């Protein structure tokens, strides 16, 4: 998937800019690894299988669809016919959601969304423009469009197929980076778009079979947050950075409060979409409406963007991690670890049980700050011999705080250090002292940070009274401290 370098490019098909290009990087010869082109790509011809980029005199066979300005966010529907949905950032006036089919031309730079585009004056759309591309193919419009009086840069997006929000099934959830004409103050907006009934059953195999009914506009609504920690408007007062899903098709939102990468601020938050408390998910209330999408703007003055009807869907997002204590964050495993990493490292079930049964969890509810080195079930605890695992999980021994010859309280305390140590801050340390009274040696390389030869595998899960560093081994105290005797 590529985007063009300048405004006045991409509705041609003789290079690699502004296109969706599915390839398979698995083909290997004696000369090394190359790539192959799917045989059902729309522009495949009887050419050699290895082709040098930018050497074409005809449409490159790599191209699947084209006419994109900045197709920054792409997702496949996990249900139905697995539609390919792209949220495409516009130039100055309009943002678009595209239902992408094979061989389709999506209009840029002849059009910006449904509107004509003028490359020499992007704020003044022409009254008329071509309806076809340079090969005479029809231009395919967006299924969702909003103007910059509604939001600014679009952030895609997933079609919901989970179980927690049944009224959202089949709807596309996405957002706007911040509020209209605002690129400085964090005030992101969430949207949900509803396709026409039966849309998912009508998706054609290619652009040649596409009808206007197949590509009809979807209903656009604003998604509000009940119990927003920041204000009463139902918005988050944070920039919307990304929306994606987990293996159960539940959806998550990534936000922060700074405009770009800044490791010193650490304002990122991961949210999970969950049902509203005391209200039916998907309940809507009407607000003011405006002109329907697709109206032709005036050609005599700078355009005021139009958009579809806006409603409110009242729903609830879980509070961001930074509004929770370390203990609350540990328990919320499904949002404590970024969802794409959870299958690899597992959760904190055994560690949580250890903290609870020893009473150490109460410390993590205090003001702090504390740094917690949290071992996960599927990597850290799974690496222990069965007898040691049984002892730590409380299935051996019967004394309070102990199991067999292991002082479980000391083991729990050995994973907690007073102070707030991010991964970058740990690079400036050589020794830490745990609440169990043991020293931890810190070793940092270019790529990783270790404490007592235990690697931090997921870093900087920030809570309001501390930070969690996820580790790949259990930190057992030394026997000299009287904490453990595993012999």
> Do 311 and 345 fall into the same domain?
no
Burial pattern 170-206, b for ≥16 Cβ within 10 A else e, equals bbbbbbbbbbeeeeeebbbbbbbbbbeeebbebbeee
Closest C-alpha to 239, from 218, 264, 219, 265:
265
In a domain, 55, yes or no: no
Quote the mean pLDDT of the chain.
76
Check pLDDT > 90 for residue 75: yes
> Comparing 312 with 212, which gets the higher pLDDT?
212
The dihedral built from the CA positions of residue 392, 393, 398 and 401, taken in this order, carries a sign that is positive
Please tell me whether residues 467 and 339 are part of one structural domain: yes
pLDDT of residue 377: 83
Q: Which residue has the higher pLDDT, 55 or 365?
A: 365
Q: Residue 203: inside a domain, yes or no?
A: yes
Between 426 and 197, the higher pLDDT residue: 426
Q: 301 and 350: one domain?
A: no
Same-domain check for residues 352 and 310: no
pTM score, two decimals? 0.57
* pLDDT band per the 50, 70, 90 thresholds, residue 176: very high
Distance (Å, rounded) from C-alpha 224 to C-alpha 222? 6
- Residue at a domain's end among 261, 287, 319: 319
pLDDT given at position 44: 81
What average pLDDT does this structure show over 330-339? Answer: 54
Of 96-110, 194-208, 307-321, 398-412, where does mean pLDDT reach its minimum? 307-321
* Shared-domain flag, residues 265 and 405: no
Supply the pLDDT for residue 280: 40
Model pLDDT, residue 29: 56
pLDDT at 371 over 80: yes
Residue 106: CA count within 13 A, CB half-sphere: 31
Residues 334 and 474 in one domain: yes
Residue at a domain's end among 290, 319, 348: 319
Q: What is the pLDDT of residues 229-246, one digit of tens each?
A: 555 677 878 899 999 999
Residues 313 and 328 in one domain: no
Same domain, 315 and 289: yes
Does some domain include residue 163? yes
CATH (domain of 452): 2.30.180.10
Domain carrying residue 243: 1-21+63-319
Indicate the number of domains in the chain. Answer: 2
Whether residues 189 and 263 share a domain: the answer is: yes
pLDDT of residue 248: 93
Identity of the highest mean pLDDT range in 250-254, 259-263, 282-286, 303-307: 250-254
Q: What is the pLDDT of residue 459?
A: 81
Both 167 and 284 in a single domain?
yes
More confident residue, 179 or 345: 179
* pLDDT score at 361: 94
For residues 363 and 297, state if they share a domain: no
CA distance 424 to 449: 9
- Under 8 Å CB-to-CB from 120, ≥6 apart: which residues? none
Does 257 have pLDDT greater than 50?
yes
> Is 45 domain-assigned?
no
The stretch 196-224 carries a mean pLDDT of: 86
Instruction: Answer yes or no: do 328 and 268 share one domain.
Output: no
Last residue of a domain, one of 271, 292, 319: 319
């Amino acid at each position: 998937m590529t985007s063009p370098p300048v405004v006045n490019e991409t509705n041609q098909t003789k290079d690699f800019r502004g296109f969706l290009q599915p390839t398979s990087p698995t083909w290997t010869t004696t000369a090394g690894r190359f790539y192959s082109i799917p045989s059902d790509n729309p522009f495949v011809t009887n050419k050699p299988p290895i082709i040098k980029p930018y050497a074409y005199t005809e449409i490159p066979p790599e191209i699947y669809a084209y006419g994109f300005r900045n197709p920054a966010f792409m997702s496949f529907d996990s249900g139905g016919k697995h539609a390919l949905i792209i949220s495409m950032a516009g130039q100055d006036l309009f943002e678009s959601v595209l239902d992408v089919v094979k061989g389709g031309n999506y209009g840029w730079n002849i059009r910006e969304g449904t509107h004509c585009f003028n490359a020499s004056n992007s704020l003044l759309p022409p009254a008329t423009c071509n309806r076809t591309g340079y090969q005479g193919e029809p231009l395919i419009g967006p299924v969702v469009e909003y103007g910059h009086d509604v939001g600014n840069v679009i952030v895609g997006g997933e079609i919901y197929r989970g179980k927690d929000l049944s009224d959202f099934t089949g709807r596309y959830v996405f957002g706007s980076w911040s509020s209209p004409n605002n690129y400085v103050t964090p005030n992101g907006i969430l949207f949900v778009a509803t396709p026409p009934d039966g849309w998912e059953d009508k998706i054609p195999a290619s652009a040649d079979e596409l009808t206007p009914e197949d590509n009809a506009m979807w209903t656009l609504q604003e998604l509000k947050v009940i119990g927003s920690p920041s204000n009463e408007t139902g918005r988050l007062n944070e920039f919307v950075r990304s929306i994606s899903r987990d293996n159960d098709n539940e959806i998550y939102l990534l936000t922060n409060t700074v405009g770009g990468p800044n490791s010193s601020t650490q304002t990122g938050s991961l949210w999970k979409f969950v049902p509203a408390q005391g209200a039916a998910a998907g309940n809507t209330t009407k607000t003011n409406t405006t002109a329907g999408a697709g109206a032709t703007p005036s050609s005599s003055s700078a355009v005021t963007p139009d958009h579809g009807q806006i409603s409110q869907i009242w729903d609830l997002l879980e509070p961001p991690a930074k509004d929770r204590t370390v203990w609350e964050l540990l328990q919320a495993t499904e949002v404590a670890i970024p969802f794409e990493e959870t299958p690899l490292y597992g959760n904190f079930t055994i560690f949580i049980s250890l903290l609870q049964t020893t009473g150490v969890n109460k410390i993590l509810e205090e003001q702090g700050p504390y740094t917690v080195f949290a071992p996960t079930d599927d990597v850290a605890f799974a690496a222990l011999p069965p007898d040691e695992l049984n002892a730590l999980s409380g299935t051996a021994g019967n004394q309070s705080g102990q199991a067999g010859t292991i002082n479980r309280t000391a083991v729990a305390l050995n994973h907690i250090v007073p102070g707030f140590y991010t991964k970058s801050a740990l690079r400036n340390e050589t020794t830490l002292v745990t609440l169990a009274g043991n020293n931890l040696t810190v070793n940092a390389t270019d790529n990783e940070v270790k404490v007592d030869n235990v690697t931090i595998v997921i870093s900087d899960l920030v809570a309001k009274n501390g930070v969690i560093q996820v580790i790949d081994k259990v930190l057992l105290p030394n026997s000299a401290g009287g904490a453990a005797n595993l012999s």
